[in-house]
Structure 1
């Protein structure tokens, strides 16, 4: 029969740091995707306005 380990929990600090890092990366990717979408929307809107102006 084994007893529970004494002392600190194993690896919890590293897991916490890793999850923070992963969330930061995910948020960065999400923001880049939203920014790209907004830029593309602005470009298409400007192109539509320009093409309507030519008619």
Structure 2
């Protein structure tokens, strides 16, 4: 489904502009802080594993 959305946005510039208009404007740099063992700091992420021997299934 994600690939279908990506294709639709590539092929339809009007749709892309319309959706982009619904998103908030970027407001500059973002500061993230991570503190502690196995801590992560991200602005956007798909998958994260912070334990030993983690198995990620697609």
Shorter-chain TM-score bucket reads under 0.3
- Which has a greater percent of helix? 1
Query: Please, what TM-score do these two structures have when normalized by structure 2?
Result: 0.22
**Which of the pair has more CA radius of gyration?**
1
The structure whose RCO (Cα within 8 Å, separation 6+) is larger is: 2
TM-score normalised by structure 1 residue count? 0.23
